[in-house]
Chains A and B, each alone.
Chain A
Amino acid sequence: MKKLFFSAVALVAFSSVSMAETKESGTGKECTKVFLAALDTATSNGASEADAWMFASVAQYFCLKEVRLF
């Protein structure tokens, strides 16, 4: 799960995909794992539930976009 999260974080960090793209629903088993991992990591680093939720949502969003960075 940690490896999945690192991938998602890297995706979020380096992607240049515009956030104006169409929203996706939360489908995709792998990307939901990314969401859960991001949520746990953000809250363990002191993020509020609201901020952690937003971070996890963004991580899942880019996971669904399957953006390759390297």
Chain B
Amino acid sequence: MKLLIFLISLSSFSQIKNASIDYILTIGEDDLYSNGDLKVAYKNAAEYANQINFKLNLNEKEICFFSENKLENSDSGVELAKIFSGSKNPFYMLLNTNKIYQSFDDLILGKYTVEKQISKYEWKLENESKIISGFKCFKAVTTDVVQNRSGKFNFLVTAWYCPEIPIPYGPLLYNGLPGLILELNRRNVVYGATKIDLNPKEILTILKPDLSIIKTEEEITKMREDYINSIKN
């Protein structure tokens, strides 16, 4: 994919005060989603994935990751694409803390902000490299463990990071690698960087969470369970 890169100068790599990275989404085949009861919805999500743009914006104090619809009206396929890619709700973090905030506008529970500890990933750095639009990127893999009411699932996550760009984050605020993640693949849902703007002159959009409606993950889990129990009876 074509990557448009705006550089002030090579020396700016060591002094990145703010940055804005655009990503696009592609949704490929998944063993479970593509072959089970969700295949129709998943196929629809795949068809509409290209209607979403994602931004990773950061300054010296904070970072956020959020989606933008390319078209004004939000088709159901677009919403499904966001759900299947794990990106329906924006992420925010203060860089000197270990807390991530995710803002929700829940169809059932209303608006709330979840506060949680940043995930620490055990990356395995591999020697394999490839050029992604002019930047040499290296491969790293980790396992995303999903524990839900149906059991435990392990999914391989592959990241291609660029050590030349010393921003240790990427889509969905995956973190911990010695460079910016230009490509992230989880369950064949692929985020790919299309534009990197280092130290841009314009003021960046940083979507801040509403801290007056903070809930912990435990509180949200209970609210969901209460709702489920109420409709089962």
Residues of A within 8 A of B (CB): 2, 5-6, 9-10, 12-20, 23-26, 32, 35-36, 39-49, 51-55, 57-58, 60-62
Secondary structure at the A interface, as helix, strand, loop or mixed, is helix
User: Could you count the A-B residue pairs with CB atoms below 8 Å apart for me: how many are there?
Assistant: 102
Q: Is the CB of A58 within 8 A of B231?
A: no
Which residue of chain B has its CB nearest to the CB of A19? B74
Partner pick for B221 among A16, A17, A20, A49, CB 8 A cutoff = A49
Interface size for B (C-beta < 8 A) is 36
Whether A52 contacts B148 in the complex (CB less than 8 A), given A5-B37, A13-B41, A18-B73, comes out as yes
B115 at the interface (CB under 8 A from A): no
Contacts of A2 in B (CB 8 A): 37
Q: Name the A residues within 8 Å of B155 (CB-CB).
A: 46
A17 touches B76 (CB 8 A): yes
The answer, among A5, A23, A49, A55, for a CB contact under 8 Å with B83, is A55
A12–B76 CB distance below 8 A: yes
A19 to B69, CA, bound (A): 12
B228 contacts A36, CB within 8 Å?
A: yes
How far is it, in angstroms, between the C-alpha of A36 and the C-alpha of B36 when the chains are bound?
17
The answer to whether B224 touches A53, judged by C-beta atoms less than 8 angstroms apart, is yes
* Separation of A53 and B228 alpha carbons in the complex (Å): 10
**B1 interfacial by beta-carbon distance below 8 Å:** no
Chain A residues, CB < 8 A from B153: 46
Contacts of B224 in A (CB 8 A): 49, 53
B44 interface residue (CB < 8 Å to A): yes
B107 and A61: CB pair below 8 A? yes
Contact of A13 among B76, B83, B227, B231 (CB under 8 A): B76
Map CB proximity to A onto B11-50 as digits: 1 under 8 Å, 0 otherwise.
Answer: 0000000000000000000001100111011011000000
B117 within 8 A of A: no
How would residues 95 to 128 of chain B score, 1 for a CB under 8 Å from any chain A CB and 0 otherwise? 0000000000011100000000000000000000
Which of the residues B38, B41, B107, B231 comes within 8 Å of A57, measured between beta carbons?
A: B107
Instruction: Write 26 A-B pairs (CB below 8 A) sorted by A numbering.
Output: A6-B40, A9-B41, A13-B44, A13-B77, A13-B80, A18-B73, A19-B76, A19-B79, A20-B73, A24-B107, A25-B108, A26-B108, A41-B38, A42-B38, A44-B150, A46-B148, A46-B153, A51-B83, A51-B84, A52-B148, A54-B83, A55-B38, A57-B106, A57-B107, A58-B76, A62-B76
B107 CB, min distance to chain A CBs, angstroms: 4
